[in-house]
């Protein structure tokens, strides 16, 4: 097995608790990183407006605040390679995803927020022409008085057919799914269909990138559901965090609060063909943008894991844990690979390429998923010095070089965590 090590390059204080982090996948923009935050505030923690000077209304509902950060990665800076280029105060953010292709000549970021909306932001050049900023262009409230919990784009697989519709699937806290259409200019969102998918919160929704009429969802009823959006038919299985493999057809990864990652053959979903315990609830799963069998998992109190799924897929063997990194006193909710260094390295990769002719393994391991606890937690915000993303971000940098020896394959990734409100930039070296 290849030797590897993970090193922290930078720690950024996000002020509010951080729950989602996404690298832009598009050529020319791969150095850009978005991070979203979520804070549940009590009415007494908020500054009083002129009409409230006489006293607070204790019956006023709690408010969910957030901030959207945009960072630029600078490989020439060994001190602080992540530089903040923009921040926007928003409703609390629960999920966000970049569209995998340019739309109307721009990169698009979709955001699911606590106002029950899906918002689209377009990446444009800043006035200084030296960087980019995110410009809101469209928003659609998919459901009143609920939280939008997740979203996914239909564009995950490379080689999208030009006339294929551009779609978003979203889930909400009432257990509903919402299928949306995006116009080719990227300036408009249109609801195609909404339906009741789960009895409780639907925490995740995702496309089958190889057959985008099919979507998956998972929720607090402990069920993984598979939907054909053409017929509204459904099959029911068990699970929660979901991502279709964009490189390998018929491979689906799911995770749940039962602390297991399951791999499925989408042609036969009676049972998963691989089951890997990870000692922590699985909140995010991300396939590597280049290496087809590498899977990154945000495992809450168990930190983050990097898994090699090749032998599980090809040889009916177990999933291998390559990296297990626990962060004390934190819950890792967000994790993502960067494509940036992958496109600048010419060295040999220690991980073999995917053999698209290899048949799926027929290993069958049952997985049981219990009902999950609620995501909703209050984080006190009584410190006035940390209010509403108004302060400079405190950054701390380990004394490490960004690049290493010639015979070492370098991977860049980011994670973010609840409660300690930290964004981490990591370098994973494999020799």
pLDDT: is 129 or 296 the higher one? Answer: 296
Could you tell me the pLDDT band of residue 142, with boundaries at 50, 70 and 90?
Answer: very high
Torsion sign (Cα): 300, 301, 302, 305: positive
Q: CA-to-CA distance for 217 and 240, rounded, in angstroms?
A: 7
pLDDT: is 22 or 372 the higher one? Answer: 22
Mean pLDDT, range 174-181, rounded to an integer: 96
Could you tell me the pLDDT band of residue 408, with boundaries at 50, 70 and 90?
Answer: low
Global confidence as pTM: 0.83
Which of these, 284, 270, 202, lies nearest to 236 by C-alpha position? Answer: 270
**What does the pLDDT read at residue 235?**
54
**What does the pLDDT read at residue 419?**
87
**What does the pLDDT read at residue 51?**
47
Q: CA-to-CA distance for 177 and 234, rounded, in angstroms?
A: 13
pLDDT over threshold 70, residue 172: yes
**What does the pLDDT read at residue 202?**
95
- Number of Cβ within a 10 Å radius of residue 370: 10
Residues facing 135 on adjacent strands: 122
**What does the pLDDT read at residue 425?**
97
Mean pLDDT, range 298-318, rounded to an integer: 94
Distance from the Cα of residue 268 to its chain's centroid: 26
- Segment 33-59, tens digit of pLDDT: 999 999 998 765 655 554 444 444 445
Q: CA-to-CA distance for 190 and 38, rounded, in angstroms?
A: 26
- Segment 327-378, tens digit of pLDDT: 988 999 999 999 987 544 534 444 444 433 333 333 322 332 322 323 333 2
**What does the pLDDT read at residue 33?**
98
CB burial readout 163-200, b (16+ within 10 A) else e: eeebbbbbbbbbbbbbbbebeeebeebeeeeeeebbeb
Average model confidence (pLDDT) across the chain: 81
Per-residue H/E/C for 207-239: ECCCCCCEEEEECCCCCEEEEECCCCEEEEECC
pLDDT: is 431 or 228 the higher one? Answer: 228
pLDDT: is 248 or 52 the higher one? Answer: 248
pLDDT: is 128 or 32 the higher one? Answer: 32
pLDDT over threshold 90, residue 398: no
pLDDT over threshold 60, residue 194: yes
């Amino acid at each position: 097995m290849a030797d590897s090590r993970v090193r922290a390059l930078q720690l950024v204080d996000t002020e509010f608790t951080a729950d989602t982090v996404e690298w832009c996948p598009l050529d020319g923009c791969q150095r850009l990183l978005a991070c979203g935050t979520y804070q549940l505030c009590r009415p007494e923690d908020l500054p009083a407006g002129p009409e409230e000077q006489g006293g607070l209304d204790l019956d006023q509902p709690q408010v969910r605040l957030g901030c959207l950060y945009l960072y630029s990665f600078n490989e020439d800076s060994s001190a602080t390679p992540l530089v903040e280029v923009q921040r926007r105060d928003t409703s609390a953010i629960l999920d966000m995803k970049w569209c995998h292709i340019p739309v109307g000549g721009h990169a698009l970021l979709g955001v699911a927020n606590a106002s029950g909306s899906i918002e689209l932001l377009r990446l444009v050049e800043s006035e200084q022409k030296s960087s980019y900023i995110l410009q809101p262009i469209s928003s659609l409230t998919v459901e009143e008085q609920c939280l939008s919990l997740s979203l996914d784009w239909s564009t995950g697989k490379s080689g999208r057919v030009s006339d294929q519709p551009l779609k978003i699937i979203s889930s909400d806290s009432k257990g509903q799914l919402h299928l949306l259409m995006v116009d080719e200019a990227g300036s408009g969102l249109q609801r195609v269909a909404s339906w009741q998918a789960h009895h409780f919160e639907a925490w995740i929704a995702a496309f089958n990138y190889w057959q985008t009429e099919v979507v998956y969802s998972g929720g607090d009823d402990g069920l993984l559901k598979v939907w054909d959006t053409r017929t509204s038919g459904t099959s029911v299985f068990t699970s929660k965090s979901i991502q279709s493999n964009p490189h390998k057809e018929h491979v689906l990864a799911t995770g749940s609060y039962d602390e297991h990652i399951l791999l499925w053959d989408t042609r036969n979903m009676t049972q998963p063909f691989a089951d890997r315990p990870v000692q922590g609830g699985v909140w995010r799963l991300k396939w590597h943008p280049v290496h087809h069998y590498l899977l990154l998992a945000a495992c809450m109190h168990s930190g983050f894991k990097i898994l090699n799924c090749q032998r599980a897929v090809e040889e009916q063997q177990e999933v291998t844990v390559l990296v297990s990194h626990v962060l004390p006193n934190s819950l890792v909710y967000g994790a993502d690979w960067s494509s940036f260094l992958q496109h600048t390295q010419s060295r040999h990769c220690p991980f073999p390429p995917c053999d698209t002719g290899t048949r799926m393994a027929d290993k069958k391991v049952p997985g049981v998923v219990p009902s999950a606890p609620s995501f909703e937690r209050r984080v006190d915000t009584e410190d006035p010095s940390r209010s509403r993303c108004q302060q400079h971000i405190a950054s701390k940098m380990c004394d490490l070089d960004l690049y290493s020896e010639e015979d070492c394959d370098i991977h860049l990734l980011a994670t973010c965590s609840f409660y300690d409100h930290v964004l981490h930039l990591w370098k994973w070296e494999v020799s």
